[in-house]
Each structure stands twice: as C-alpha cells, then as structure tokens.
Amino acid sequence: MVGNKMFSLLDARLKKIKGSNQIFGGVSVIAIGDFFQLKPVFDGWIFQDLNKGISALSPNLWKELFKVHELTQIMRQKDDIEFAELLNRLRLNNLNDNDFAILDTRTVRIEDQSYNKNSTHFFVQNDLVDKFNNKFITNLTSEKVSVKAVDTVVGDFSPPIKAKLISSLPGKQSDTANLAKEVELAIGMKYDLTANIEVTDGLTNGSSCQVKLFEYKTKSQRPSIVWVKFNDEKIGTNTRKKYNHLYSQNIDKRWTPIFDIKRSFSYRYKNFERIQMPLRPAAGKTIHKSQGDTLKEVVVSLDSKCKGKIPHIHYVALSRVTTLSGLQILNLNRKNIAVSDCVKDEVERLKSEAVLSLCFKPLYSLPSENFKVVF
C-alpha cells in the first residue's frame, strides 16, 4: 500500500527522472488496490492531505486527479462464494450472529488433533512471529545451517574502528537493507525472499518458497547455493534456465538456486555493505507481510498486546485463504474488529464523486436481451 508521503515522493522522483514539471513527470499512473487493507506503515492514507512542513502546501494529487473503476468479481475465494460473502461483511464490520457462529466452527486450540501445525501462521506482532518461527525450526529434524552476514565498512577507517562499527549494527533487518545479521536455514522450512533479486523473473521481496537443499563449496561451512521451491512455479523460470548447468541428478528441475547477494546501506552516517542470503523464515509471518498472499491453508491468531484496535486487520488476515475449510483460527479477538471511518468516507466519495467514465460499455454491463447467440 502506498501512503500519501510515498505518493508525493513518487511524483517528485518522476519529475526529476523525466526532467519535466508535469505531474508525475508526464508518466501515466494507474493505481490498483483496496482501501480496506492495512494502513501504510509510517505513512498516511494516500487520500489524506500532507500536513507537515512545506508539504502541507502541496495539492492532494489523489483527490484532484484520480477516478475509480471498481472491480467486483472476487477471484481468491471464487470457489467458496458463501465465505466470500462473509468476508465482504467482515470488510465493512457488518458480521451478523450467523457469521460469528460460522467462524467459531473454524476455531481450534494448539492441543486439538485437528490443529494444522504445518500451515502458515499469521500473527499481529513481530515478537510472536519470531517465537513461532524459532520453535518451528527447532522442532525440525532436517539439516540446518546458520548463515552469518559478511559486513564491510565503506571508508578509510582503522581495523579496530571498523570492527566496532560493524558490531554496533542493529539486528533490525529494515535498517540493514532487509538482510539479516544471521539467518537460520533448515531443509523443509518455509521462507520469504527479503529483496528484489530479479523482478522480471518474479524473484521479488516477499516471494514465498521452501528450502530443499544446501550446496557447499569444498572446505566451506557456508552454503554457496540454497536450492528452494517457490509456491508459484512460474517464479524463477528464467533463473532456472540461466543456471541450468548447476543441476545434477539429485536436484529437481523445479528448484531455483538462491545465492548470497550484496546490498549497501547507511547507519548512523556511516556506509556499509552486507553479503547475506536474502531469506527470512516464513512458517509464521505478520499479517502486514501477508498482504498479497493467496494460500490454501492458514492458521490465524489475532491476539495482540497493542493498545486500541487495528482497522482492517481481521479482514486482511482471514481473506488470504481461498476457502473457509482451509482456515483455522487460534484467537479471533472479535471485540477488536474495526474499520477506519476515514476509509469508509473516502470510498463513499469515490463512488459518488469520482467514478471513471469508460470509453466503452463492457459486455457484462449490457442487458441480457441485447445478446443473440448464433451457432
């Protein structure tokens, strides 16, 4: 989700790239999304006015320029219409007693035999995700390896100063180009990519996979290749062709090789380079990071230590799965279901004041009597 600050930065950046003072540098922009997803992190809603510094004088590009055409056909739950309709009511915080009764049938406890411990789990907070992933890896009996990042300080510093600067680097991946200081890898564990490796080949930040094999160079304890199988087999097609010479008899042709990557970043006014495998454990993930996922099975816990309600988080969490039967709920936390009032107001404004007039009439909008089928 793009927020209002990011939207303004996109406008400024495109103007600079194109050498033009036209809005977005004269580039046509099509925005696709759903306001009933989660609010952008550290940003405002795209439709809100900027209100800090000189940016407060900027025009509201979203409200001034954009018209909406609503797509109404549900694709993710197309094979479970009743569940799709329930989610539409949840989206607007309009669940009825029957809806809650249906969701109660999907509630499980960890002690239950029906609990699907191997399904992807969604949590509200990072600490719960880390705890779950660490426990999941610990319980695996497969081959494991801990891969430490190789860090370099850019600049003319003495060795002791370089060592001190490197040791001061934070453990938070978002501060270090999305590459972990140390990542625990295990055969059979689910992971997400943490960086854009080859966008045109689908190797993008957040792509989900399962680790299948480690390959080492002679006398090295650090894997030179981590072979993974992506959930979407289209991802990595070109990469597999490119590295076709690396495949041996024990390597499935559907597996994709992942290598160390190098990324640069700044921390406390110093520049660094980090070499690391761009993978993060994903047996459990935050609901924020699940946006965009489509899964056949998922276990959801909406337990939260956060003060107040998080608008839309219930809808996002439950709507990642394709069918009701594929959903298990550890904690629905129904009292915290919420929808943002400003989002409802904006959607209402778009439908009443900013509907896109199409230059043609779609066939599906025409009355059935206008059609004649000829054999």
Query: Does 372 score more than 80 pLDDT?
Result: no
CA 101-105-109 angle, 5° bins? 125
Residues 1-12: tens digit of each pLDDT: 899 999 999 999
Amino acid symbol at 206: G
Question: Given this model, what pLDDT does residue 52 score?
Answer: 84
Query: Does 370 score more than 90 pLDDT?
Result: no
Question: Given this model, what pLDDT does residue 248 score?
Answer: 94
Question: Which of left, alpha, beta for 180 (phi over 0: left; psi -120 to 50: alpha)?
Answer: beta
Average pLDDT, whole number, for the chain?
95
Query: Does 101 score more than 90 pLDDT?
Result: yes
Sequence-distant (6+) residues with CB within 8 A of 245 are: none
Sequence-distant (6+) residues with CB within 8 A of 153 are: 161, 162, 165, 166, 270, 271, 272
Distance CA 223, CA 201 (A): 23
Question: Given this model, what pLDDT does residue 130 score?
Answer: 95
pLDDT band for position 223 (50/70/90)? very high
pLDDT band for position 307 (50/70/90)? confident
- In this structure, the strands spanning 150-154 and 182-186 are unpaired
Residues 337-351: tens digit of each pLDDT: 999 999 999 999 999
% of the chain at pLDDT higher than 70: 99
Structural contact between residues 295 and 326, judged by C-beta atoms closer than 8 angstroms: yes
> Would you state the structure tokens that stand for residue 2, as one six-digit string?
């793009």
pLDDT band for position 57 (50/70/90)? confident
pLDDT, average across residues 325-336: 97
- Total residues found in the chain within this entry: 375
Lowest mean pLDDT among 1-5, 225-229, 363-367: 363-367
Question: Given this model, what pLDDT does residue 189 score?
Answer: 98
Query: Does 373 score more than 90 pLDDT?
Result: no
Sequence-distant (6+) residues with CB within 8 A of 123 are: 129, 132, 284, 285, 286, 287, 301, 303
Residue-range domain boundaries for the chain: 4-66+341-370, 81-119+295-336, 126-281
251-270 per-residue burial string, b: 16 or more CB within 10 A, e: under 16: eeeebbbbebbebebeeeeb
Helix (H, G, I), strand (E, B) or coil at 68: strand
> Would you state the structure tokens that stand for residue 23, as one six-digit string?
């809005």
Question: Given this model, what pLDDT does residue 53 score?
Answer: 81
Structural contact between residues 168 and 188, judged by C-beta atoms closer than 8 angstroms: no
pLDDT band for position 363 (50/70/90)? confident
Distance CA 57, CA 49 (A): 9
Among candidates 277, 253, 240, which has minimal Cα distance to 150?
277
Residues 137-158: tens digit of each pLDDT: 999 999 999 999 999 999 999 9
- In 10 A of CB 328, how many CB atoms? 21
Amino acid symbol at 211: V
Backbone angles phi, psi at 263, to 5 degrees: -135, 145
Question: Given this model, what pLDDT does residue 34 score?
Answer: 94
Structural contact between residues 288 and 310, judged by C-beta atoms closer than 8 angstroms: no
